[in-house]
Structure 1
Amino acid sequence: MNNSKIGSRNFGNVGVFLGGSSHERPISIRSGKAVYQALRNAGLHVVAIDTANGFLKKMKGSKLDLAFLALHGTGGEDGEIQKILSRAKIPFTGSGSKASALAFDKSRAKRLFQRFKIPTPTYEVLTRTNWKHKIEKWAPPYVIKPVSEGSSIGVFFIEEKEDGYKKIEASFRKYKQLLIERKIDGREFTVGILGESVLPVIELKPKRDFYDYKAKYTKGLTEYLIPAPISGKLKDQLQSIALRAHRLLGLRDLSRVDFKVDHEGQPFVLEINSIPGFTETSLLPKAARHTGIDFTQLCLNLLQMANARRLKKA
C-alpha cells in the first residue's frame, strides 16, 4: 500500500458501524467512538450506527455511501454485517463476508493453515457429545477456547486434567463448540497488515500470566515493544507468515495475526483478526503510528480502500 497521505476528500455519507450484541460490545463501542471522532475531526459527514437492534431503518435513512466497520465478534467479524451491506450495495472497510466468516471460525482457519504449511498449534474441535472421548488423548498443559470468539473471551488453560473437566463442562453451557489446542510456552507477538503492507512486529509482555481480555484493554497491564527486539531473520519470518495467512484466508484492507514463538524460535499462528481493535490501547493503530500513519490517517486510508471499490463499480 502507498503510505502517502490521503486527505479528507468527499467520501459522501459515512456510517461507522459499532456496538452490536456480541460479548465484545464494550470494545466495539470504544473502537467505533474513536473512529467516529477521528473522521468527524477530518471534516467528513459521519453517522454512528449501533447494530444491537433495529439498525436497518437508520442505515437506510442515512443514505450511506460508505461504511466503516468497527464491530468485533459475532455479527461483526463473522460475515453477517458484510452480507447486509453487500446486499444494500454499500461498500465497507475490511474483508468480504466469506473471508470474514472463514477467519472468525478458528477451526476452519487452522485447517487451512495446516494444509498450506502455515505453523499453528496442534488442535482438535470438541463438541458437547464427543469432548470426553477426545480429551482422553490430551495431556495437560493445553488451551481451551471457543471456536468463534475474540478478545480472548472464553479462553482458559488446563494444567491438571481433573481441573479441566469442570471448566470444560461450564464452557459448553455457553458455546456449542470448543477448540483444544497445544499450549505454546514462549514469547508473544502480533503483526498487522494494512492494504498490502506488513506493519512492524510488536512484542507483547503482559504483566499477568496470560494476555487475556483485561490485559488487552486495561492501560498499563501490558508492555508493548515496537519494533520488537528480535533478529532480522525472525522479524522477516513473522511478517512473511502473517502476509501469507492474510492472503490465504482471502482477507483485504487490514488484519492482525497473533503469534507465539516457542523457546526453540519456532513461530506459531494463534489466530487472525479480520477487524482488529481501534481503541487507544489497540495494536494495529500502534504499529501504523510507528510507520508515520497517525490514527486519523489510518481511518482515512481504510475508507479510501472501500471508496476505491465503490468507484470501480460505478
Structure 2
Amino acid sequence: MFVWTGYHSKLHQVLKDRQLLPKNSKILIALSGGQDSLCLTRLCSDLQPKWHWQIAIVHYDHGWVLDEGLANHVEKIAKNWDIEFYLEQAKEKIAETEAEARKYRYEAFVNVATHHKFDYLLTGHTLSDRAETFIYNLTRGAGMEGLTALNWIRQLNDHLTLVRPLLNFTRNDTLTFCQQLQLPIWQDKYNDNKKFARNRIRLDLIPYLKKELNPQIEQHLTQTAEILRGDVEFLTEEAEKLFNLAITEDKNNLKRSILKDKPLSLQRRVIKVFLAQKLEIMPNFEQIEAVVRLINAPNLDRTSSLSKGRFAQVKKDFITISDEK
C-alpha cells in the first residue's frame, strides 16, 4: 500500500523548484542496494504517476567477494516493485578502490542509458555525500571546482544528463525513510572499511566535527558549496571571454598585455585553459602559478619543464609553449 510521507513532499517540491526531471522523461536509476539509492528508487517509483516518467533500474556487479548475493538482492527489489531492470557485470577484475569502482560503474551506466535511449541517469548522492566530498577535496588542495564537485546536474553527453535529486536529504533522512517503509537495505561491508578515505571521513571525522564544533556541519558545508558553485559559474564565463581575447589567431600564444591588469583569479583560469590545451594534460597548481608569473616577466624568461620537455616562455608580448631542444 502506498504511503505518502514528508519525504515524498520534499522530493516532489525540489523537482518542481529546480526543474530537475521534466514530465514524461525516460529515467534510469542506479540502485546499489544501500539506503540512499533505495530511498531514491522508491520515492521516484511512488512519484511516477504524478510525473509520468518511464523508470528503470540499473545495477553494477563489481565481482567483489563481499558483494556476493547483492545483484540478486537488487534484481528481486526491481521485480517486486515491477520496475524494468538492467544488470551490468564486471568483465575483468576490478581493484577494490573507490576510483576504479567509480570509473567502471559509470562507464557501464552510461552505456546502458545510451543504448536504451534514457534521458536521465539518477544517483542517490545526498547532502551528506556532498559535505564529505567537500572535505575530501579540501584536504587534497582542490580549488573552487573541486569543492563544488558534487552538483545537482551534470551533462554526461549530448543525450544523457546525470541528476542527483537527493542533495537536500541527509543520510539520516534516507535511513529514516527506509525504516519507515521497511525497505530491504543491503548492508555494504565495504562502507565500514577505513582503508577508504571517504569512509574515514564519514565514520570518524564528520561525527567528531558534529560533536565538537557544529551539529549542522553537513548542512553548512553544502551551503558553502552551493555559494561557491555560483561563483565558479560566473568566473568560468568571465575567464572564457578573457581567454578568447588573449589567445592569438593561431591558438599558440597568449597576449600578455590583455592579461596584465586583470584579477589574479581570472589570470589563473585563463592560464589553466591554455596549458590544458597545449600540454594535453590537466595542469597542477604549481604549473599554473609558474606561467602566471610570466605575465609580468622580462622577455625570454621561461618556466622549467612543464610536461614531456615542454616549457612556457615569454616572447615579447606573448606567452608561448616550446619544446626543449
**TM-score bracket relative to the smaller structure:** under 0.3
Normalising by the residue count of structure 2, what TM-score does the alignment of the two structures yield? 0.25
Structure whose alpha-carbon radius of gyration is higher: 2
- Higher relative CO (Cα under 8 Å, sequence separation at least 6) belongs to 1
Name the structure with the higher helix share. Answer: 2
Name the structure with the higher strand share. Answer: 1
Normalising by the residue count of structure 1, what TM-score does the alignment of the two structures yield? 0.26
